[in-house]
Amino acid sequence: MQNKVVIITGASSGIGLALAKEFAQRGSKLVLAARSAEKLKDLETEFNNKGTETICVATDVSKEAECKNLIDKAIAKFNRIDILINNAGISMRALFKDVDLDVLKQLMDVNFWGTVYCTKYALPHLLKSKGSVTGISSIAGFIGLPARTGYSASKYAMHGFLETLRVENLKTGLHVLIAAPGFTASNIRNTALSNDGSAQGESPRNEDKMMSAEEVAQHVANAIKKRKPTLILTFVEGKLTVWLKKWAPRLLEKLTYSHMAKEPNSPLQ
């Protein structure tokens, strides 16, 4: 990864920030994107002071023009792109019967369209470098999670897009990775949207028992290095879930419902 130019969206916190630190340790050059210009300014100073050549670009990935600007700024600075990591994302928790449709649209705009926009404008440069496109997905992209209709829908859409992109580029040298971390200790549940679009505020899960964002970042970086097509992390909530989806889907639905209903203040209760 030495001197590779890596773009990371949603880079100001959680898995995105952990990825930035991981690739910095591996000698990469960074292009970091997030909505908060203030946080990005501090990160740009921090990484550059530690010897990692870094630029930060305030970006709302739900807006096509801002995604194009992100890619343009990366090329203007480094004249190449080797890795694009589509990490920016938001979640939700509400039953479909109760949720405002604007919430589902917002999740699709960020999680799906954000991936599409950034990939579209980065693709010509990634084809030149025979680089990598990564989507940070979720186990929700393999099974529908109750009270997360918008989240699961956006991740299923991301999977379909990235899998098709991979097939289209079987002979171009482009690498496409779908990474599903499972439940990870990050701020995504704190910022998850409720039925009316307001932030949930407090995580309904014990974050201490989850895989850390730093562990996820190491696994993702290794998978990109090895050019793996898929990365599924954790056994029970990851690999076993995907296996049951194929071989015992009805059982998995019952187990999933039971598991999600045990969350504090679950809408399923």
Instruction: Verify whether residue 151 is a known catalytic residue.
Output: yes
Which of 117, 151, 156, 257 does the annotation list as catalytic? Answer: 151
Q: What is the DSSP letter of 208?
A: G
Tokens linked to 38: 């203030």
The DSSP line for 106-165 is HHIIIIIIHHHHHHHHHHHHHHHHT-EEEEE--GGGTSPPTTBHHHHHHHHHHHHHHHHH
For residues 193 and 161, what is the distance between their CA atoms, to the nearest angstrom?
A: 24
For residues 179 and 229, is the Cβ–Cβ distance under 8 A? Answer: no
For residues 98 and 150, is the Cβ–Cβ distance under 8 A? Answer: no
The catalytic residues are 151
